[in-house]
Amino acid sequence: MKLQFGQSARRLSTLAAVTAGMVLVVSNPASAAYNDGFAASTTNSCGSAIFVDYGEGASGGGNNDDYVLIRDNCSDSHGVRAWAWVTEHTSAGDLTYPLGSKYNGNGVAGADVVWDPFLDGNVRAGDTVKLKICLVDGSGDTTGSYCGSATHTSVDG
């Protein structure tokens, strides 16, 4: 038995299908397709720099979702400093940009430091991000100890 649908029923079913498709697109943003998040830790695990690729963001992280959390993990009388670099891979060759450093002297009981060092606020697909984290003795210490680093190439920006 073949069911007959009137023009109104066909329009309604088309509208429902389009609405369902829009809900899927809106609730699954392109930036959430792949989580490019990664972390660097000091060699004694007392400090970490965590690259956050996507999510709701964090207070002070700006209006985008690519930022670094700088975390002090130990009660050891040291602060932590993170450094960041981004490398763009172009047809002319690789271009690496130092993005500076940021200090966290809040201690293990204090808040993470939110740092958004990226040139235009976002990391693009194919960019390589490098993080370095060290224990430091005060905000003026730029050499540090127990340094560790990690590198990740973004899949989808």
Average pLDDT over residues 26-52: 82
Confidence of residue 147 (pLDDT cuts 50, 70, 90): very high
Q: How far apart, in whole angstroms, are the C-alpha atoms of residue 50 and residue 52?
A: 6
Confidence check: pLDDT of 59 > 80: no
Would you say residue 78 lies in a domain?
Answer: yes
Mean pLDDT of the chain: 81
CA distance to 57, 103, 142, per residue, from 100 (Å): 21, 11, 11
What is the percent of the chain where pLDDT is above 70? 73
Would you say residue 21 lies in a domain?
Answer: no
Q: Write a three-state SS string for the chain.
A: CCCCCCHHHHHHHHHHHHHHHHHHHHHCCHHHCCCCCEEEECCCCCEEEEEECCCCCCCCCCCCCCEEEEEECCCCCCEEEEEEEEEEEECCEEEEEEEEEEEECCCCCCCCEEECCCCCCCCCCCCEEEEEEEEECCCCCCCCEEEEEEEEECCCC
Confidence of residue 64 (pLDDT cuts 50, 70, 90): low
Would you say residue 27 lies in a domain?
Answer: no
Q: What's the predicted TM-score (pTM) here?
A: 0.76
Would you say residue 17 lies in a domain?
Answer: no
In tens, the pLDDT along 107-146 reads: 999 999 989 898 777 899 999 999 999 999 999 999 999 9
Would you say residue 114 lies in a domain?
Answer: yes
Is pLDDT larger for residue 133 or for residue 4?
133
CA distance to 53, 65, 70, per residue, from 33 (Å): 11, 14, 25
- What is the pLDDT, as a whole number, of residue 22? 37
Number of structural domains the chain divides into: 1
Would you say residue 59 lies in a domain?
Answer: yes
Would you say residue 113 lies in a domain?
Answer: yes
Q: Across the beta sheet with 128-136, what order do the strands follow?
A: 93-104, 79-90, 128-136, 145-153
Confidence of residue 4 (pLDDT cuts 50, 70, 90): low
CATH of the domain at 51: 2.60.40
Q: Which domain range does residue 126 map to?
A: 32-153
Would you say residue 16 lies in a domain?
Answer: no
